[in-house]
Amino acid sequence: MALIISWIFILGLVVPDLSSSLLHCPHRCHCDDDKLDVNCEEGHLDVLPIALNPSIQRLVIKNNKIRIIDSSIQFYSELTLLDLSFNYLFNIPDRTFGHQRKLQQLHLNHNKISTISNRTFVGLGELLVLNLRGNLIDQIDALTFTPLAKLEELNLGQNRIASVGLSVEAFVGVGDLKILLLDDNLLSVIPSEDTLRPVDKLAELYIGTNSLAGIEDGAFRVLSELTLLDLRGSLLPNVTEGTFGGIENLKSLNLADNRFQRVPTAALAVLRRLEELAIGQNHFETLPAHSFRGLSNLKRFELKGSLYLRRIERAAFQTNTNLESVVIESNKALTELEEETFAGLLYLKHLSLRNNGLERLDEGMFSWNSLRTVDISDNPINCDCYYSKLLLRLQTAARVSYNATGCPQHLPDQWECEYILEKNKNLISVVVPLVAIVTAIALAFYRFRGLLREYVKNGCKSKAAAAAAAATSSVTPAGGTGLPTVLPPLGHGRAELSTVLHGDYEKPLSDDDYFIRSSNLYHGSATQPILNGYPLYLQQNPNVYYNKPLPMTEL
């Protein structure tokens, strides 16, 4: 009996604690009465629990099946954070949060909410963060957020808000707003100055992933305190020199995933305080020299996923000497990175060239003064002595961590590279002089080609004249008649006959001429004496017996 009484006494001490915590905590929820925190993430709840500790301050019921926020929410008036994201909420009744006077964060993102009004958020005078991302909202009426006098962050991204659905007075009453997200909607133009003027203290504006045909000059000038502007994925063909007028204090700009044919150097030059720039996934093929002229305070640069980028010139970042982080990744067409591209960046700490089309890298490409991390993996690297030298430098630099994959395990070592270098030097020492000599000879021949032609021509004539003179002197009789005493036999060629008889006129006779003239050699008396195969009278005065003179021709 005494044992039973003891057990009852113990249960009496334990059960109250169980009833105050575990017994009132729904299945698959985590309840912490010390921290006043309840987390029911993925708890398969379809209604709000009503038996929780009324003093809780943080209530997270995300990834459940809740369709409506009923009156049970009024029992938790001490809440500072309420997260009902990723549920099935279709509508929020007016004044639902009328008792949450201390609520600072309300997350209703990724539900099915289609409408909100200026009565939806009544009572949330202390709210700092309102997240409505990923719903079906298509219209923001005037004064919708007026009850949220202290609101600092408003997320309306990934809805269906069109330009015509955004009232000019949509943001009246939230003058302390610092962060506004309107990205991934159906906006075709930047909201007007009148629309943005009530939130002129904005520090961050996300308005990308809209179909913006263009941006008028000075569209953001009322936001003089803006430090971050996100225009990614807006289908912008270009930006002009006046696009960023009035927001010269901007420190972060995202222009990725647009349609720029060239780097907007002139438009960016006014942003002299810019520290972060993302400009990947555009259509330009080259980063030319001084692409980011004027951005002397730029510290972080990112260029990812550009399908057309092929080349980065060595002076592209020459004026951006304060760069600390450069990320150039996943540009498959990028095959050319000029030497010393990053050599002047004395403060560069982090460099990523991962997953490009680079085949050649050199250790002189960048400065080693402040470098801490290097990623050159997933490139079709030409694993030659230059790359081996770069890897050796990375391995011996104790403060530099690197990632360099893509080469076979065996790379040429120092001795192999020195041998190859010496062999190339010897080959060059032979080839270069030989090429120089051949070139000099060819130039000399070309320079004196006229003189060489005259020399050859005159030499040939001199040889012919000398041969004729020799032949003539060998057959001239003592009487000095000038005729050969010994003529070639008749059976010899016609050319020899013509040459002997007519000196310089060395062209052979034609068939007709030879036939006529040779037949005339013997007409008249057939009894004339013949000497050495020719009639004597032909040897004395042969020109008398030709019917016509020989043709006068030149060489």
Q: Where residue 176 falls among pLDDT bands split at 50, 70, 90? A: very high
The residue that leads in pLDDT, 370 or 24, is 370
CATH 3.80.10.10 domain locations along the chain? 26-211, 254-437
Percent of the chain with pLDDT over 70: 74
Structure token digits, residue 246? 């009035």
Residue 519 has pLDDT above 50, yes or no: no
Give pLDDT, residue 461: 65
**DSSP output for 176-224:** T--EEE--SSB-SSPPPHHHHGGGTT-SEEE--SS------TTTTTT-T
**Geometric angle at alpha carbon 387, from 382 and 392, rounded to 5°:** 155
Residue type, position 234, single letter:
S
Q: CB under 8 Å to 501, separation ≥6 — which residues? A: 542
Mean pLDDT of the chain: 81
Q: What angle do CA 175, 180, 186 make, to 5 degrees?
A: 125
Most confident of 160-169, 428-437, 523-532: 160-169
339 contacts 316 by C-beta, under 8 angstroms: no
pLDDT of residue 443: 84
Residue listed under structure tokens 């929410």: 73
Q: How confident is the model at residue 539 (pLDDT cuts 50, 70, 90)?
A: low
Report, as an integer, the average pLDDT of 465-485: 55
- Find residue 327's DSSP bridge partners: 302, 352
The confidence band for 472, taking pLDDT boundaries of 50, 70 and 90, is low
pLDDT of residue 18: 39
Per-residue pLDDT tens over the stretch 250-302:
999 999 999 999 999 999 999 999 999 999 999 999 999 999 999 999 999 99
Q: Above 80 in pLDDT, residue 407? A: no
pLDDT at 424: 57
pTM of the model: 0.72
CA separation for the pair 518, 539 (Å, rounded): 14
User: Architecture of 254-437 per CATH?
Assistant: Alpha-Beta Horseshoe (3.80)
- Mean predicted confidence (pLDDT) in 3-12: 40
480/34: higher pLDDT: 34
- Residue pLDDT, tens place only, 315-370: 999 999 999 999 999 999 999 898 889 988 999 999 999 999 998 888 778 788 88
Fold of 26-211: 3.80.10
User: For residue 448, what pLDDT is reported?
Assistant: 74
Looking at residue 307, what is its pLDDT? Answer: 94
Paired tokens of 385: 């002595």
Residues in CB range of 369: below 8 A, 6 or more apart: 346, 347
